Amino acid sequence: MTEFALQARHLFKHYDEGAARIDVLRDVSLAVIPGEMVAIIGASGSGKSTLLHTLGLLDLPTSGEVIVAGTSSNGLNEATRSRLRNRALGFVYQFHHLLPEFSALDNVAMPLIVRRQTRDAARLEAQRVLELVGLAARVTHFPGQLSGGERQRVALARALVGRPACVLADEPTGNLDRHTAHQMFSLLKQVNAQSGTAFVIVTHDPELAALADRRLHMESGCLVQAPPPETPQSEVPQPDASQSDAQHPVRARP
C-alpha cells in the first residue's frame, strides 16, 4: 500500500492581474494517509477551492509538487494527468453535476466507462457502490426523480466507483437542508470507515469539520493546523464554588 494517498509539497500559486500579483497559495504542504479524513476550513477567498483544484490535478501550481497515490504529477502531459485523476481521485461538489438524461446507475458507471471498462462490468460496480450509499432501490431513477439528498448520494457513489485513493469534496452539504446534511455527514463518515478511502473535505460547516480525523485552517493562502472545536459552555467543567475561596483566598489590597 502507498504510504500516502495524497501529498502536496511546497505549493505556490499566483495570478498576475496587470501590474499586480495575487498570491493564492503560499508554500502549502499536506500529506494524507490512506483512510484518513481531513477537513479544510477557512473564510471565502482564503484559497480553499484553489487548493482543492490543485490537489485534484484540475489546476497547475505555479511551483511545487502534487503526488497522487505515489505518482508525481510534475512533468505529466494533460492526457496522462487526466488518466491519473480518473484512476486515483474522486470528486464531490456542492452541486451534484449529474447528467440528467442518464439513470443513477449509468451516472455512477460513467467514470468506469471512460476507463474503457465494458458497460456490464461498469454497471455491476456502480450497483455495488449505490448499495453502499443506501440507494439500492433508486438505481433506475433519473436525477429529476431524486431528492436533493439522494442526488448528492449518487454523486458520492460516482466519486467512489473507481476505488480512488482519495475523494476531494468541496462543500458537499452546501445545498442541503439541515436534516439532509446531517444524514450526509453520517454517510461520509461511514463510507470513509468502510472503504478505507481518504477524504479531503473543504467546508464551512463546523459539524462536518468536527467529524474529520484532522482539521486544517486556510488563511491568506497558508494551511495551518486548526484549533480544536469549541466545547459547548454547558460541557465546560465549572470550578467548585465551595472550594474556590479556600484554595484561592481573596486578599484585600493594602
Q: Which set of grid coordinates corresponds to residue 164? A: 480512488
Summarize pLDDT for 218-234 with one digit per residue, the tens.
888 888 887 666 544 44
Neighbours of 217 (CB within 10 A): 18
What pLDDT is recorded for position 106?
95
User: Which residues on neighbouring strands pair with residue 199, listed in sequence order?
Assistant: 37, 167
Q: Where are the domains of the chain?
A: 35-58+78-228
Candidates 172, 197, 168, 194; CA nearest to 183 is 172
For 5-31, give the DSSP string.
Answer: SEEEEEEEEEEEETTEEEEEEEEEEEE
| Residue 114, amino acid | V
- According to DSSP, the residues that pair with 39 across neighbouring strands are 201, 215
At 200, list the grid cell: 479531503
CA distances from 157 to 25, 100, 103, 175 (A): 30, 16, 13, 17
Question: Rounded distance, CA 164 to CA 142, Å?
Answer: 25
Instruction: Read off the pLDDT of each residue in 210-216 and give the average, rounded to a whole number.
Output: 89
Q: Are 36 and 214 in contact (CB under 8 A)?
A: yes
- Among residues 133, 188, 123, 184, which one has the least CA distance to residue 157? 133
Say if residue 71 is exposed, middle or buried (CB neighbours under 10 Å; 0-12, 13-18, 19+): middle
Give me the percent of the chain exceeding a pLDDT of 70. Answer: 88
Query: Residue 245: pLDDT band by 50, 70, 90 thresholds?
Result: very low
Q: Please check the confidence at residue 81 and state whether its pLDDT lies above 80.
A: yes
- Alpha-carbon gap, residue 17 to 91, rounded angstroms: 30
**In this structure, are residues 6 and 30 in contact, taking their beta carbons and an 8 Å threshold?**
yes
pLDDT digit string (tens) for 88-116?
999 988 777 899 999 999 999 998 998 88
Mean pLDDT value of segment 165-181: 84
- This prediction has a pTM of 0.81
Measured from the Cβ of residue 219, the count of other Cβ atoms closer than 10 Å reads: 15
Nearest to 202 by CA among 33, 45, 34, 8: 45
d(CA 206, CA 133): 23
CATH class of 35-58+78-228: alpha beta
Rounded average pLDDT over 139-145: 95
Q: Per mean pLDDT, which range of 67-81, 125-139, 183-197 is the poorest?
A: 183-197
Three-class secondary structure of residue 225 per DSSP:
strand
Rounded to 5°, angle at Cα 188 from 157 and 29:
100
